[in-house]
Amino acid sequence: MRMIITGGTGLIGRELSQLLAQAGHEIIVLSRNPARHRLPEGIQTVQWDGRTAQNWQHLADGAHAIVNLAGEPIAGSGFPPPRWTEARKQRIRQSRLDAGQAVVEAITAVSRKPAVLIQASGIDYYGNVPGDAVVTEDWPKGEGFLADVTEQWEASTAVVEEMGVRRAVIRTGIVLSPAGGALPLTVRPFRFFLGGPVGNGRQWWPWIHHHDEVQAIQFLIENEAASGVFNLCAPHPVTNKEFAREIGRVLGRPSALPAPAFALKLLLGEMAALLLDGRRALPHRLTELGFTFQFPQLHDALVDLLTA
């Protein structure tokens, strides 16, 4: 079956494309610059502009699935990461709306609609939820820049449901991968014996091992009962203090040197919310459908990621 992935050269998309290709599917990755990316054999890259269905909409005709992961990276790259200027926040928002518009354009234009659309989103939809309240998929939208962006991102493709396309929205937590994302930056201070919690450490961090992330997306593609919103995070979230303690335990490093909230806000500005905000999110609907996590516990996930 043909599957089209936007954002297929990113951290999640690259691994997902390989997983689906290994399962025997025809995988097409949309990229603004295919020459820059070397994907495994059997995965086709097709150029797109990130805004329209021009040059690829014919591929959506008869495709089984479209996975829409495209969007400007939230945290950027490098250290320290670039601040959220107004111009950068607009790029983060508009890149997601443009990609959604392109997907809708393609699905509208073809006669044989895809069976399913997987629409990316983030656990930040719920905003900062202090305390120990359990956040499932029916928790209301929170406040803040990322909550607003994720709401608009999800809405960008909602109209395809009226065309008979099954749609699953994935609100992804902190993806743990040695290849990029939050984990390498979080671990770096520990390697220099400077690790510890950020802020007061009481904020809940909903995390997910990268293998479980892509396996969950495949599960949602294949399960015809899967529609609506799904939290993609491990069933055992931890507080940031517990997260730091487990990194220290796995690496054999101390984990008691905190990074004060005020210092993070001075360094990162508004983007410090990525570290200081939290929510105790659970994958209620995913587990209800029968998905089994390979790494439900943080300790086992970190052993696999940091010592393999």
Q: What is the dihedral of CA 242, 127, 274, 257, to 10 degrees?
A: -30
pLDDT score at 192: 94
Could you give the domains of the chain? Answer: 2-176+207-237+282-291 (3.40.50.720)
How many other CB atoms are there within 10 angstroms of residue 255's CB atom? 22
pLDDT score at 78: 63
In whole angstroms, give the CA distance from residue 181 to residue 297.
Answer: 19
pLDDT score at 72: 92
- Reported as a single tens digit per residue, the pLDDT across 150-177 is 999 999 999 999 999 999 999 999 999 9
- Reported as a single tens digit per residue, the pLDDT across 254-294 is 999 999 999 999 888 998 999 999 999 999 999 999 999 99
pLDDT score at 267: 86
> What are the backbone angles phi and psi of residue 206, rounded to the nearest 5°?
-80, 110
pLDDT score at 297: 98
Q: What share of the chain is helix, strand, coil (3-state, %, to 5)?
A: 40, 20, 40
Asked if 29 contacts 46 with a C-beta cutoff of 8 angstroms, the reply is yes
pLDDT score at 24: 94
Specify the pairing of strand 204-205 against strand 238-239.
antiparallel
Per-residue pLDDT of the chain (308 residues), as tens digits, is: 999 999 998 999 999 999 999 999 999 999 988 778 778 778 999 999 999 999 999 999 999 999 999 999 987 666 667 889 999 999 999 999 999 999 999 999 999 999 999 999 999 999 999 999 999 999 999 999 999 999 999 999 999 999 999 999 999 999 999 998 899 989 999 999 999 999 999 999 999 999 999 999 999 999 999 999 999 999 999 999 999 999 999 999 999 999 999 999 988 899 899 999 999 999 999 999 999 999 999 999 999 999 97
Query: What is the Cα 18 distance to its own chain's centre?
Result: 17
pLDDT score at 83: 86
Partner residues linked to 207 by β-bridges: 174
